[in-house]
Amino acid sequence: MQISLNHYIQSVERMYRLFDGEELSRLLSLRDVHVGNKNLRSSDIASLVEGNCVAPLDEVIICHLLCVKALHEKEYLEAYSHQRQCVVAVVRILQNQKEQNWCLPLMYTACLDLRLVAQKAEATAAQSEGKILEKAAESLLSCFRVCAADNRTSDEDTKRLGMLYLVNQLLKVYFRINALHLCKPLIRAIDSSPLWHQFPLAQQITYRYFVGRKAMFDSDYSTAESYLSFAFQKCHRNSHKNKRLILTYLIPVKMLLGYMPTVGLLEKYDLLQFLELISTVKNGDLRGIDSVMEKHESFFISAGIYLIVEKLKIIAYRNLFKKVYLEENNHQIDIANFQAALQMMGEEDMSSDETQCIVANLIYQGKIKGYISYQHKKVVVSKQNAFPPLSSL
Amino acid sequence: MSNNDNSVENGLTIHGTCMELCPTEEVTLRMKEKLVHVLEVTSSGHKLVKSFCRSAANSNLAVPRMLRPFGVLSDTVHYLLLELSNRTDVKMSVLYDFLDDRLRAVRQDMTIQRLPPEQCVILLEPMIRFYVYYGYRLYNHPISEYDPVLNRKHLLECIKWFLNCCDKLDSTQTVQCDINTIIGNFNSLDICKTSPELYYDRILIESLYILSNLDDIHPLHRYLALPGHVKKASALKLAYYIALANMNNNYVRVLKLSKHLCPLTFSVLSLYLPTLQRKALHAMSHAYNSKHLVVPVEVLKQWLAFNTLEEVRAICIHYGMSLVREKDGICFEKAKFKNNVEQHRQLCFQAKILQLKLDEVLSYTI
């Protein structure tokens, strides 16, 4: 039961006149069943639609159907340029509709589709180096400007409610083309927005996930922890894939702050790459850490957590020294004993000076309570709580 | 789509036609207005080099006869850095200012003509060495003669541009392993050449990028994402390990590894030394915190690469520590450490670069 082109145009127009943004966006989505309808793939779409439908909606329909046609022909670059025109037409509609925002779902759909088509075009065009996605981001920004500028309308009807959705799409693009420096103004715009609690939870989660990753990239670990934790806790329990993604970043950050994940959690989310890492860090096994890092190098680098894993060595030092301390059962420990432990665990060329330097930093960071005596070459640790739990720091 | 964009770009590209170091119009104007720099007066008469001119409203810089094509730009860089830099009749800071300005004009010509990456790298690499060299040599000059902030700005601008070009070349070029390129490479190693040749050393620049941004984690992210054959170069690995040690404030290891650096990378690290020393002393003021215990001045000198015992004493007092035992020991107390005083400016003077001339620095490989 495939509807005719005329019938399709009429239903789109009807939804437009009924202010039904949801249904309208479905009819203009590239991910809806109507895309498979052969009747909509005429060779002369523009002349058939034009005059048959109210302006400026006709242009949206033309671009949309041209894009569908190009996709069927696997002409992804062409599909992408049609979808860009479609977004331009949608922007025009938005600009004309003062003090109303029922059209936002249409904008969401057009923008999401644009990003997906751009990704597809990017993958097929050799040597594009992210240029297509960069251009797509410009289109998304044009939508963003229209939304952000709508600041005189009441809180229910303002197009500013669409900002977060667009920012999320932009963040996805910027992460993909490795242009994280462009995220900053977007983050500032959202963080200063008074509408934060009115944005849908799903969008808030996506946003925090990306901003958390950005903070991690800038080595701001406590911010990263709070954003990623929010995302993980609020993420829907059935979104297994998303929860796993969040954990990939949350686990190393948490480890750095002294929280080790359970085996059950790692098994549940298929993140056993961390399992060996955890046991080596716990045991202060420096050689082990190096071999885990070598084994999972590509995973750690592609996830952008390689340097955090490198930082976990400090935790490993602390754990190793704690073992030496428990073994000695004395609150005065020879530097030479620490040095021997480090050498045994894989740092063969460790000198007495460098051992002191490592201990000095652990004391400075509060991970060991005590002081070093240079003359006696000893570390004197506090009689109580010499190695405070990392999570208490 | 993207092909279209490229052809449009190519269509807009301007090709310079000026075959002299300085366009004739500028020569006439500056001779008339008596704007000839003392370094442009040579024993064989005037030799002007195009000076930097800010793009302002109403001025059109994109005039082919005012722009020098790649070959001439390369000659200009050659002339500036290998010949003019030997002049000893002016102060070093005057020489630096002049060269800085003329190199900036070279970069401007490069930008306006949108030179391709393979040409940019060749022009930028010696400029980077130049900025590093003078950044160290002029460090202690008064601010009226030399501005370290501007030096750093120009240095980073060149480095980032250079690395950007390398990334573009990486993405277009598949590694060529055929016999002709290998023979070609051997030919370029010709050691019989009379004048030193300018060429580019990517590993050196990648290392400089890491070492000149030690407080920033992003160069390390970049390193990790580099193609394997670049990443494995031992000189670059050394820079990466130094940065890692510095990230964990392991000052002993940083300074131990620094002994293997080449003159240029070492001098970049030296500029960071005061920061490293300050951070180290701060950590030590917590770790060696005691009213009775002391750390010998001699040990501190050795750990933190100070020049003299006197310098150790002065700097420790600067940060609020006290001298004990006939000035032979430092007593660390965390409560007394002054974190709000200005950072000391003494530099590590052992840098090999002090014994080298600019042309020597321009031509070595690591």
Q: Indicate whether A33 and A155 sit together in one domain.
A: yes
Q: Indicate whether A182 and A249 sit together in one domain.
A: no
Contacting residues of B for A131, CB less than 8 Å apart:
2, 5
Structural domain contains residue A252: yes
Inspect the interface and report whether the beta carbons of B293 and A358 lie closer than 8 Å: no
Structural domain contains residue B42: no
Structural domain contains residue B214: no
Q: Indicate whether A23 and A81 sit together in one domain.
A: yes
Inspect the interface and report whether the beta carbons of A357 and B172 lie closer than 8 Å: no
Contacting residues of B for A363, CB less than 8 Å apart:
283, 286-287
Q: Which residue of A has its CA nearest to B173?
A: A127
Better pLDDT: B324 or A320: A320
**Packing angle, helices B202-211 and B117-137, rounded to 10:** 50
Structural domain contains residue B297: yes
Inspect the interface and report whether the beta carbons of B252 and A125 lie closer than 8 Å: no
Which of B7, B218, B224 is best to mutate for the A interface (most A CBs within 10 A)? B224
End residue of a domain, out of A194, A218, A244: A194
Confidence bin at B59 (pLDDT 50/70/90): confident
As for how many domains chain B has, the answer is 1
| Whether the Cβ atoms of residue A110 and residue A57 lie closer than 8 Å to each other | no
Answer whether residue B62 shows pLDDT above 60: yes
Q: How confident is the model at residue B43, as a pLDDT?
A: 85
Answer whether residue B175 shows pLDDT above 50: no
Three-state DSSP class for residue A389? coil
Residue in A362, A369, A372, A367 with CA at minimum distance from that of residue A333: A372
Structural domain contains residue A272: no
Q: How confident is the model at residue B197, as a pLDDT?
A: 43
DSSP string, B36-72: --GGGEETTEE---PPP----TT-----GGGS--HHH
Alpha helices in B212-250 (DSSP H): 218-225, 228-231, 234-247
Kindly state the tokens that stand for B72: 């001439």
Q: How confident is the model at residue B351, as a pLDDT?
A: 67
Answer whether residue B247 shows pLDDT above 80: yes
Inspect the interface and report whether the beta carbons of B250 and A358 lie closer than 8 Å: yes
Q: Indicate whether A158 and A9 sit together in one domain.
A: yes
Structural domain contains residue B155: no
Tell me the Cα Rg of chain B.
24
Contacting residues of A for B299, CB less than 8 Å apart:
374
In angstroms, the CA B346 to CA A119 distance is 53
What is the domain extent for residue B291?
A: 262-352
Structural domain contains residue A271: no
Q: How confident is the model at residue B312, as a pLDDT?
A: 93
Answer whether residue B186 shows pLDDT above 80: no
Q: Indicate whether A139 and A220 sit together in one domain.
A: no
* Strand pairing category for A370-373 and A378-381: antiparallel
In angstroms, the CA B361 to CA B358 distance is 5
Structural domain contains residue B328: yes
Contacting residues of B for A311, CB less than 8 Å apart:
247-248
Better pLDDT: A155 or B77: B77
Q: What angle do CA A113, A117, A123 make, to 5 degrees?
A: 150
DSSP string, A273-317: HHHHHHHHHHHT-HHHHHHHHHHTHHHHHHTT-HHHHHHHHHHHH
Structural domain contains residue B301: yes
Residue A56 preceded by cis peptide, ω within 30:
yes
In angstroms, the CA B282 to CA B298 distance is 18
Confidence bin at B297 (pLDDT 50/70/90): very high
Share of chain B above pLDDT 70, in %: 88
Strands lying side by side in the sheet with B295-296: B295-296, B329-331, B322-324
Q: Indicate whether A138 and A212 sit together in one domain.
A: no
Interface A-B, measured as beta-carbon pairs within 8 A, has a size of: 90
Inspect the interface and report whether the beta carbons of B2 and A132 lie closer than 8 Å: yes
What is the average pLDDT score of chain B? 86
Q: Indicate whether A124 and A259 sit together in one domain.
A: no
Confidence bin at B90 (pLDDT 50/70/90): very high
Three-state DSSP class for residue B330? strand
Q: How confident is the model at residue B195, as a pLDDT?
A: 40
Confidence bin at B180 (pLDDT 50/70/90): low
Structural domain contains residue B188: no
Answer whether residue B365 shows pLDDT above 80: no
Q: Indicate whether A226 and A186 sit together in one domain.
A: no
Q: Per-residue pLDDT for chain A (393 aa), expressed as one digit of tens each?
A: 688 888 999 999 999 999 999 999 999 999 999 998 888 887 788 888 887 888 889 999 999 999 999 999 999 999 999 999 999 999 999 999 888 899 999 999 999 999 999 999 998 886 677 889 999 999 999 999 999 998 888 888 899 999 999 999 999 999 988 888 899 999 999 998 888 888 999 999 999 999 999 999 888 899 999 999 999 999 999 999 999 999 999 999 999 988 999 999 999 999 988 999 999 999 999 999 999 999 999 999 988 889 998 899 999 999 999 999 999 989 999 999 999 999 999 999 999 999 999 999 999 999 999 999 999 999 999 999 999 998 887
Lowest mean pLDDT among A259-263, B117-121, B356-360: B356-360
Q: What pairs with residue A373 in β-bridges?
A: A378
CB nearest A363 (choices: B217, B253, B287): B287
| CATH number of the domain that residue A309 is part of | 1.10.10.10
CB nearest B171 (choices: A80, A127, A354): A127
Strands lying side by side in the sheet with A378-381: A332-334, A378-381, A370-373
In angstroms, the CA B136 to CA B124 distance is 19
| Whether the Cβ atoms of residue B66 and residue B17 lie closer than 8 Å to each other | no
Q: Indicate whether A142 and A256 sit together in one domain.
A: no
Q: What distances in angstroms separate CA B62 from CA B12, B21, B107, one per listed residue?
A: 11, 17, 14
Inspect the interface and report whether the beta carbons of B282 and A314 lie closer than 8 Å: no
Lookup result for tokens 């598949």: B174
Q: How confident is the model at residue B148, as a pLDDT?
A: 93
DSSP string, A46-114: HHHHTTSS-TTHHHHHHHHHHHHHHHHTT-HHHHHHHHHHHHHHHHHHHHHSTT--TTHHHHHHHHHHH
Residue in A275, A349, A291, A358 with CA at minimum distance from that of residue A320: A358
Inspect the interface and report whether the beta carbons of B286 and A127 lie closer than 8 Å: no
CA atoms within 13 A on the CB side of A160: 19
Q: How confident is the model at residue B199, as a pLDDT?
A: 59
| Whether the Cβ atoms of residue B138 and residue B96 lie closer than 8 Å to each other | yes
| CATH number of the domain that residue A26 is part of | 1.25.40
Answer whether residue B189 shows pLDDT above 80: no
Q: How confident is the model at residue B275, as a pLDDT?
A: 93
Confidence bin at B185 (pLDDT 50/70/90): low
pLDDT digit string, tens, across residues A53-75? 888 899 999 999 999 999 999 99
Q: Indicate whether A282 and A240 sit together in one domain.
A: no
CB atoms within 10 A of CB B91: 11
Global ipTM: 0.84
Q: What integer is the mean pLDDT of B27-43?
A: 91
Inspect the interface and report whether the beta carbons of B224 and A306 lie closer than 8 Å: yes
Q: How confident is the model at residue A218, as a pLDDT?
A: 86
What is the domain extent for residue A41?
A: 5-194
Q: What integer is the mean pLDDT of B51-61?
A: 81
CB nearest B220 (choices: A77, A81, A307): A307
The alpha-carbon gap from A354 to the nearest alpha carbon of chain B, in Å, equals 5
Q: Indicate whether A91 and A149 sit together in one domain.
A: yes
Q: Rounded to 10 degrees, what is the CA torsion of B229, B235, B238, B242?
A: -120
As for how many domains chain A has, the answer is 3
Answer whether residue B113 shows pLDDT above 90: yes
Structural domain contains residue B330: yes
Q: How confident is the model at residue B12, as a pLDDT?
A: 67
End residue of a domain, out of A194, A224, A242: A194
Q: Indicate whether A222 and A92 sit together in one domain.
A: no
Instruction: Indicate the DSSP class of residue B176.
Output: P
